[in-house]
């Protein structure tokens, strides 16, 4: 277990290990870059197979948040935290209050929000110990629940439509077949938006109940999680875990566009080049899934949801710029997105 030699280490400014014996808290907080502002990123609770896996995850996710906030034109840096544990059986209010104390000790350099395995209720418990928390609803704004998932889904929907426009010359989704991998909070919200826009859905998730719900409510077709990546579809929307676009899956991909909510969809940067060579248009995940962090920022600023949505709709312009530059220079879209982000947060 080593932070500095981990392949995901990218000149991170700070990595903190937090432990509380009374509650059993074991957590890692990673601050990647604060050049544009305090780092913001979700707190993920997951039963990692090893501490090394947790370190790798928090390093790569915090780096991704730096790029995401820069591309979303937010005055924020990138950070992330992980709690080692099973969210189904090991959550307690006391554990999240201990996490709040750990966040408070960072002194405002890191703002925490919900992520995989955590919820707005968990953020409320964190907020009892620190003000450096987002994605909570204090009751003052009835249009906000504290859940950023619908906003994340909206941004993905905007980016997906822009990919269709770039590929087809229009953004009409009517009749297009979209394969959605993962029906969690974001994935299901995205499915609703796609259904309402006239798309035909093919879905897969480990949770059979949520798959059945999508079939009943949205007229989706269901396939197994082993089949979804190779489904004959116009668009593939990965909305589960990362690394699904890799040497194995690229060989069997049949979609012409990849646009989904999952972070770190490409297992390696070289897979962006492989997609380019196959003529598959990839909407960089951290660009189009930034709606959640936009909402957390605007919620903390006390600005209305209408401002959040207007900002999210700007994802279309950013995505279009990436596609045009990538096509003009014959470069992978992910490479171009990284270059634009780095221009924004690089030292001046």
Catalytic residue numbers, as ranges: 80
Q: Give the number of C-alpha atoms closer than 13 A to the C-alpha of residue 235, restricted to the C-beta side.
A: 33
Residue pointed to by tokens 């009749």: 175
* Torsion of the alpha carbons at 187, 192, 193 and 194, rounded to the nearest 10: 80
Residues whose CB is less than 8 angstroms from the CB of residue 2 and which lie 6 or more positions away in sequence, other chains included: none
Q: Give the number of C-alpha atoms closer than 13 A to the C-alpha of residue 79, restricted to the C-beta side.
A: 31
Q: How far, in Å, CA of 42 to CA of 49, rounded?
A: 20
Q: How far, in Å, CA of 302 to CA of 189, rounded?
A: 24
- Which tokens in the block code for residue 76? 């924020």
Phi-psi region of 250 (alpha: psi -120 to 50; beta: other; left: phi over 0): alpha
């Amino acid at each position: 277990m080593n932070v500095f030699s981990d392949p995901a280490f990218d000149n991170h400014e700070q990595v903190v290990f937090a432990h509380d014996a009374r509650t059993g808290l074991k957590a890692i907080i990673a601050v990647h870059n604060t050049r544009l502002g305090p780092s913001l990123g979700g707190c993920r609770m997951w039963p990692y197979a090893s501490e090394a896996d947790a370190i790798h995850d928090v390093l790569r996710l915090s780096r991704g948040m730096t790029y995401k906030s820069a591309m979303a034109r937010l005055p924020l840096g990138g950070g992330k935290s992980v709690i080692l544990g099973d969210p189904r059986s090991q959550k307690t209010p006391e554990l999240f209050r201990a996490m709040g104390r750990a966040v408070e000790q960072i002194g405002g350099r890191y703002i925490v929000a919900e992520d995989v395995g955590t919820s707005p209720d968990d953020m409320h418990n964190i907020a009892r110990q620190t003000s450096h928390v987002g994605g909570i609803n204090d009751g003052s704004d009835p249009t906000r629940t504290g859940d950023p998932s619908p906003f994340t889904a909206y941004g993905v929907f905007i980016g997906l439509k822009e990919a269709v426009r770039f590929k087809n010359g229009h953004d009409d989704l009517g009749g297009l077949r979209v394969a959605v991998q993962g029906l969690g909070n974001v994935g299901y919200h995205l499915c609703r938006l796609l259904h309402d826009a006239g798309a035909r859905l093919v879905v897969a998730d480990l949770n059979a109940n949520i798959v059945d719900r999508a079939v009943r409510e949205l007229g989706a077709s269901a396939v197994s999680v082993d089949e979804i990546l190779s489904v004959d579809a116009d668009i593939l929307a990965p909305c589960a875990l990362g690394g699904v676009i890799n040497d194995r899956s690229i060989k069997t991909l049949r979609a012409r566009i990849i646009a989904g909510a999952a972070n770190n969809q490409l297992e390696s940067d070289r897979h962006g080049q492989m997609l380019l060579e196959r003529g598959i248009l990839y909407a960089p995940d951290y660009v189009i899934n930034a709606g959640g962090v936009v909402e957390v920022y605007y919620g903390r600023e006390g600005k209305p949801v209408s401002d959040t949505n207007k900002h999210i709709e700007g994802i279309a312009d950013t995505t279009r710029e990436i596609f045009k530059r990538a096509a003009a220079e014959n470069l992978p879209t992910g490479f171009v997105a990284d270059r634009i982000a780095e221009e924004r947060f690089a030292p001046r």
